[in-house]
Structure 1
Amino acid sequence: MKDNAVKAPAGAEQPSASIYEMIREDIIAGRLAPHTRLKIADLSEAYGTSTNPVREALQQLRGEGIVEMEPNRGARVVAIDQNFVRDITEIEVLIEPALTRWFCTIATDADIAALEAVQQEIEALNFTDLVRHAELDTRFHQLIYDRHYNRHVADLWWKHREILRAISRRYPVALSRRKSVLQEHRDLIEAIRAQDADGAAAIIARHVEGSGRHIIEQMSAYRRDVGDPNKN
């Protein structure tokens, strides 16, 4: 793995990563429809693996809220819809400002330089490669969140980030949102440089809320134009 590749935060659990990612992608893409019962034996056959990796993947997906476990009935798919994105966004609006506020108390000149370097790559790319943009954008925020002492909170951010990143891959990024992302990153760097914890927290709250709203708007537009991909 390259040094600048996006990595899970230290301590983050990633059991059966490839099986987990495939099941998660199939749920988000609607290939596994909402409320579908997920039978371990069937999934093992479908994904060409043994039952243990599937079991572990379902537990991870359960922890992320994508799968729900019902007593005596097994696992079922949760609907990945606008309400799902809204709920995650509302949690992140609480988490990310707190992580950012703490970072402002420890940020060094080297930290600012690292943020500047990633932001320069983001601006140079200018959304021409959305997969690479997502990697850089995640790296930008990891520089702020990964050193937080509360690993439970940082790991929760990572889980939510991965889910939202997988969802957003399916939709275009509006020009207005592109402009906002670049400006909000720049404003955030300057607030951190000034050790303005309140200002930085307010900027990241606006940033998270704007990203969540944009995904919801794109989901709504897609379903208006094409129809709900989760319908049979």
Structure 2
Amino acid sequence: MTEPGVAAFPLGAEPSAALPSLPAVRRVADSVHDLLREAIIEGRLTPGSRLSVPVLAQQLSVSRSPVREAVQRLVQEGLATEEPHRGAAVARLRPEELVPLYQIRETLEGLAARLAAEQAGDAELAALRETYEAHASALERGEATRHVALDLAFHAALRSASHNHELQQYLERVQGKIAIAMLGGRPEEWSKQAIVEHHAILDAVLARDPEAAEAAARAHIRRVTADIAALTPPRRRTAKPSP
């Protein structure tokens, strides 16, 4: 016996032919989530900014339900935190929270670069080169504030060129936290180092050299990890009790 309104299919039958196709319309909650995520990554919503559901619903002219769902997704992704009786706010990330994340990222970014060198198509290589050149031009013009967006765009292009969907998903999960870390770092100093390291990755991928591409990508992330670790305050040693 089936529930009212639910079609019954014979055992072994393929239900796909009997199901209508879904409308090509995005859910409101998905659109709100992407809008807020982009604002956090671009620094328009800074760490500590309150994510009030009523206020956001009014600003975006939507009901509270999709905003609440979007904010909860941000909390699950680690881009926001929720405190009892205070609601959610954009996450404040300490350097010591990011070092383990970057240690994992080193391996994943190295794999992405290796796969990109092996599998990227001409259009993907062109996109990677164009993103690098836009980043370099912005730095030459002194547009250090664009560093984060262009840095993230370069790594996004590299992930896309890897042709590994699962790898892309893993890296995208940490992308937002990485953006918050970069916004809280030393943009001008880090960007000058990053552009040199990105050039090494680009050259290796264009040369179709998987080993060199992986080594360059891992060296880049390893350097960033060391920079973040240097921002971590030293742990205080607890005094041993006297005998």
Fold equivalence (TM over 0.5): yes
Helix, strand or coil at the partner of 1:16: helix
Q: CA deviation at 1:179?
A: 3.5
| 1:47 aligns to 2:56 (yes or no) | yes
Q: CA deviation at 1:105?
A: 0.9
Q: Which runs of 4+ in 1 moved over 6 A?
A: 22-27, 75-78
Q: Identify if the C-alpha distance between structure 1 residues 17 and 193 changes in structure 2 by more than 3 Å, giving closer, same or farther.
A: closer
Helix, strand or coil at the partner of 1:159: helix
TM-score (norm 1): 0.66
Look up the match of 2:116.
103
Look up the match of 2:11.
none
Check whether the contact 1:145–1:154 (CA below 8 A) recurs between aligned residues.
yes
Look up the match of 2:15.
none
Between 18-27 and 192-201, the greater mean CA deviation after superposition: 18-27
Check whether the contact 1:171–1:219 (CA below 8 A) recurs between aligned residues.
no
Look up the match of 1:144.
158
Between 93-102 and 17-26, the greater mean CA deviation after superposition: 17-26
Residues 1-232 of structure 1: matches in 2 within 5 Å? 15-19=32-36, 29-31=47-49, 43-49=52-58, 50-66=63-79, 80-126=93-139, 128-175=142-189, 177-217=190-230
C-alpha distance in 2, partners of 1:204/1:150? 16
Q: CA deviation at 1:93?
A: 1.2
Q: Percent identity?
A: 21
Helix, strand or coil at the partner of 1:132: helix
Look up the match of 1:7.
none
Letter in 2 for 1:160: V
Q: CA deviation at 1:85?
A: 1.4
Letter in 2 for 1:126: L
Letter in 1 for 2:96: N
Q: Deviation digits for residues 101-127 of structure 1, max 9, x if unmatched?
A: 111111345544433333222222216
Q: CA deviation at 1:201?
A: 0.9
Q: CA deviation at 1:81?
A: 1.0
C-alpha distance in 2, partners of 1:22/1:109? 31
Check whether the contact 1:100–1:144 (CA below 8 A) recurs between aligned residues.
yes
Q: Identify if the C-alpha distance between structure 1 residues 89 and 47 changes in structure 2 by more than 3 Å, giving closer, same or farther.
A: same
Q: CA deviation at 1:15?
A: 4.9
Check whether the contact 2:197–2:220 (CA below 8 A) recurs between aligned residues.
yes
Letter in 2 for 1:95: L
Q: CA deviation at 1:173?
A: 2.5
Q: Identify if the C-alpha distance between structure 1 residues 60 and 149 changes in structure 2 by more than 3 Å, giving closer, same or farther.
A: farther
Check whether the contact 2:79–2:176 (CA below 8 A) recurs between aligned residues.
no
Between 166-175 and 17-26, the greater mean CA deviation after superposition: 17-26
Between 198-207 and 53-62, the greater mean CA deviation after superposition: 53-62
Query: What stretches of structure 2 of length at least 5 have no aligned partner?
Result: 1-29, 234-243
User: Cα RMSD over matched residues?
Assistant: 3.6
Aligned length: 197
Letter in 2 for 1:106: Q
Q: CA deviation at 1:204?
A: 0.7
C-alpha distance in 1, partners of 2:35/2:223? 30
C-alpha distance in 2, partners of 1:170/1:69? 21
C-alpha distance in 2, partners of 1:30/1:207? 29
C-alpha distance in 1, partners of 2:131/2:36? 30
Q: CA deviation at 1:218?
A: 5.2
Helix, strand or coil at the partner of 2:187: coil
